[in-house]
Structure 1
């Protein structure tokens, strides 16, 4: 994803699956995110970052559950990028030692829905969602 200076202030939404056995641990570590990881996000011009959890429903409309029991649900992340060079800022984040260690922990709790994804440090891990509506009243 390339965001140029004219897109400063752009909101980004991403999703990823959370493994069924990881919900409580994921919540626990995110209640105490490492200060160095948060500082790196700030240096990367990321603000207003939140992650929401959408549980997998106990039923599916077509009745199929193949593979569904392996996930707790979806993690939905939203944030605003307020810098001038998204790609460079993301390279800086990906080069931060503490962030790489954090991703090593959190990636094990997730299943990417990006085709061919192997981990946060190797390229797209979270799936980027297209914005279809916004109201700023």
Structure 2
């Protein structure tokens, strides 16, 4: 299992919309996340930043993320959530991966 921490900025005027969207994700989105070997997934809001934490239990992260990106339900979900976000990462990557500096089980 590999732990991931990611960060992205949220548009201030879209915070409530983003929160509202996440009270009821589109059908199939959460199932696809699990099917792509992601578990224990949380998103936190701090000011104008979103922090995500999840655990990946698969063997090919890139392949699983490509599978998720091809999913029609996920694509529709991203069409409504992406406009709420401002990427801090390089082109082609929405969420910026953070370095884990400490962990305690």
Give the TM-score of the pair, scaled to structure 1: 0.74
- How many residue pairs were aligned? 105
SS, match of residue 28 in structure 2: helix
Q: Is the CA contact (8 Å cut-off) linking 2:6 and 2:53 kept in structure 1?
A: yes
**Deviation digits for residues 58-102 of structure 1 (CA, Å, limit 9, x no counterpart):** xxxxxxxxxxxxxxx100000000111111111100100110111
Q: CA RMSD in A?
A: 0.9
Structure 1 residue ranges without an equivalent (≥5): 1-8, 56-72, 118-122
Structure 2 residue ranges without an equivalent (≥5): none
Alpha-carbon distance in 1 for matches of 2:63, 2:46: 31
Post-superposition, which runs of at least 4 consecutive aligned residues in structure 1 deviate over 2 A? none
- Say which one has the larger Rg: 1
User: Comparing both structures, which one devotes a greater share of its residues to helix?
Assistant: 2
Give the TM-score of the pair, scaled to structure 2: 0.96
